[in-house]
Amino acid sequence: MEENIVFKYFENLDGKQKEQFRGMGALYREWNKRINIISRKDIGNLYGHHILHSLAIAKVAKFEPGTKILDLGTGGGFPGIPLAVCFPDSIFTLCDSVGKKAKVAEAVSEGIGLENVTVVNKRAENIEENFDYVVTRSVAAFDTLLPWIMGKWRKGIFALKGGNVYSEIEPCIGRYGLDRKKISVFDISDWFEESYFLEKKIVFVGR
């Protein structure tokens, strides 16, 4: 069973959460036939390359009940939907400027019965609400991403990244007033043994 790669690393999921993870696979495959959210070459790696990758944030973040989280550029719902399953008492807003992508995220969220997710078809800079955290998955370089969300987050940003993240972050420190001491980089391969994750990282930018 494909979803076992999730259960392998997240052993404390309850029955409802496991059913939600099982259910999202069929929904993504069905929607992907109509709206190409995941490349057809990669849809066979849905659980490993997309769902589990999203869940890497759950190895670092400990969102408390009531925490408000913005998923910036969610696409079809990554990382927001897998994280919303893991943190059912936190409140997720999934944002994407492309209507058909937001439609898929909304359909999958509703299809697996998530009650802590709102999907908005907007550019991030047009969202008036403030959040505790922002999560994002390879949406843009930090110098592009940060202006979109300035003033919208109170505690931190979790960004799933690859490549040389240090050269990407360094120019932003002075430009956007980031505190170097509150920036951390985590290697996802420390938690997940699959070779896909060898160059994958999480960058956390705190207040």
- Return the structure tokens found at 62: 């400990």
Could you tell me the pLDDT band of residue 40, with boundaries at 50, 70 and 90?
A: confident
Q: How many Cβ atoms sit within 10 Å of the Cβ of residue 152?
A: 17
pTM value surpassing 0.75: yes
Sheet of 183-187: strands edge to edge?
117-120, 91-95, 68-72, 131-137, 153-162, 200-206, 183-187
pLDDT tens string 136-181: 997 788 999 999 998 899 999 999 998 889 888 999 998 988 899 9
**Residue 138 CB contacts under 8 Å (≥ 6 apart), including other chains:** 160, 161, 162
Tell me the mean pLDDT in the region 31-57.
93
- Ramachandran quadrant class, 50 (left: phi over 0; alpha: psi -120 to 50; beta: rest): alpha
CB atoms closer than 10 angstroms to residue 125: 12
Spell out the domains of the chain, with CATH numbers in brackets.
4-206 (3.40.50.150)
Main-chain dihedrals φ then ψ at residue 197, nearest 5 degrees: -95, 5
DSSP state of 163: S
Using the structure block, give the residue that is written with the tokens 């993240």. Answer: 165
Which letter, b or e, does each residue of 69-86 get, where b requires 16 or more Cβ atoms within 10 Å of its Cβ?
A: bbbbbbbbbbbbbbbbbb
